[in-house]
Amino acid sequence: MKKALVLLLTVAMAGTLAACGGSGKDTGESQEAAPAVEAEAPAESEADAPAAEAEAPAETDSDASYTIGICQLVQHEALDTATQGFKDALTEVLGDKVTFDEQNAQGDANTCSTIINGFVSSNVDLILANATPALQAAAAGTNEIPILGTSVTEYGVALEIPDFNGTVGGNISGTSDLAPLDGQADMLQELFPDAKNIGLLYCSAEANSQYQVDTIKTFLEEKGYTCEYYAFSDSNDLSSVVTSAVSAVDVIYVPTDNTAASNAELINNICLPAQIPVIAGEEGICAGCGVATLSISYYDIGVATGKMAVKILTEGADISTMPVEYAPQFVKKYNAANCEALNITVPDGYVAIGE
């Protein structure tokens, strides 16, 4: 009986093992099938990866299009020329892939802010801020969209950056229209060595105009001149301020001041009859009311700004590390008509404006 029971148990165990063996065989088949699936998955991933990499170059900057917002403070020759140089530099590289939303604030800083807010709402790809108030408005309006300034004399002064080292950082860079103020003082002395009193004519609302007259005042006083500030708040009081100046000075100095540039004819109509010569900070003002200037090319700094924009938009340049750029050269120029009217003999080395 016991033997029969043992025999029965042995047969049952054998059946169980056989069943387990069958299950093991099925699992083995599943394990063999699984690697086949896993083997296919990497093949699909590897096949997909090159396709993604191959498609990526198609999404290059060369195929992208860009909208650039241009905020220009006011219309006058210097700023107009800088804007044109900027646009020419970009269209030379990008052609019809770049679109400009160009707006003029007509000399009003508040309008600059309105224009900039519109650019931010439109999410333009880059902003050109032409002149100091435009740059200040852009800086206040966005810290994300790249901002390039031009026709801005001193960025540290404009943006209230203490100990400015030449790089603004953040989302701002650009080009400066600063000509050597010591060189302009030298020019004034070269042309008018016997003058005594110099009037510094500028718009008090423009921070960089204040910077220029403060700086050149030091250079002129070192040469023995007496300097007096003649500040006007806007074009409304310009006439009365100029009239006051011509009654008290021998020579007037006008920096790269946007309000003065827009009203150069008015200044000329007062200074020329009074026989008071004007040394100007840039060529456009000199053409309107001056006798001589040590000037930059505003077209050239516009082109330089445009080239910076190309690097940012198409090459991924980091604007936060881009230092402010300056004009590469300065030229002594003179206003032939005004020099003749005032009997001024211009030394060698000067170029007549317009030649």
Question: Over the stretch 24-55, which tens digit does the pLDDT of each residue have?
Answer: 333 333 333 333 333 334 344 333 443 334 33
Q: Rounded to an integer, what distance in angstroms lies between the CA atom of residue 244 and that of residue 126?
A: 44
- The yes-or-no verdict on residue 308 having pLDDT over 60 is yes
When pLDDT is cut at 50, 70 and 90, the band that residue 4 belongs to is: very low
In the chain, what percentage of residues exceed pLDDT 70?
83
Position 173, amino acid: S
**How many other C-beta atoms can be found within 10 angstroms of the C-beta atom of residue 243?**
13
Predicted TM-score (pTM) of the model is: 0.79
Provide the pLDDT for residue 24.
Answer: 38
Average pLDDT over residues 240-245: 98
Q: What is the pLDDT of residues 145-202, one digit of tens each?
A: 999 999 999 999 999 999 999 999 999 999 999 999 999 999 999 999 999 999 999 9
- Decide if 311 contacts 331 (C-beta within 8 A): no
Instruction: At 253, list the tokens.
Output: 């100095």
Please tell me the total number of residues recorded for the chain in this structure.
355
**How many other C-beta atoms can be found within 10 angstroms of the C-beta atom of residue 156?**
15
Q: What is the pLDDT of residues 102-141, one digit of tens each?
A: 999 999 999 999 999 999 999 999 999 999 999 999 999 9
Provide the pLDDT for residue 45.
Answer: 39
Distances (CA, A) of 216 to 16, 155, 227, 336: 106, 18, 10, 25
Q: Which domains does the chain have, with CATH numbers?
A: 64-177+297-323 (3.40.50.2300), 181-295+331-352 (3.40.50.2300)
For helices 109-122 and 132-141, the axis angle rounded to 10 degrees is 40
Provide the pLDDT for residue 62.
Answer: 58
Residue indicated by tokens 């059946």: 15
Of the candidates 291, 310, 301, 272, the one whose C-alpha atom is nearest the C-alpha of residue 353 is 291
Provide the pLDDT for residue 63.
Answer: 75
CA–CA–CA angle 208, 161, 230 (5° rounding): 20
Position 74, amino acid: V
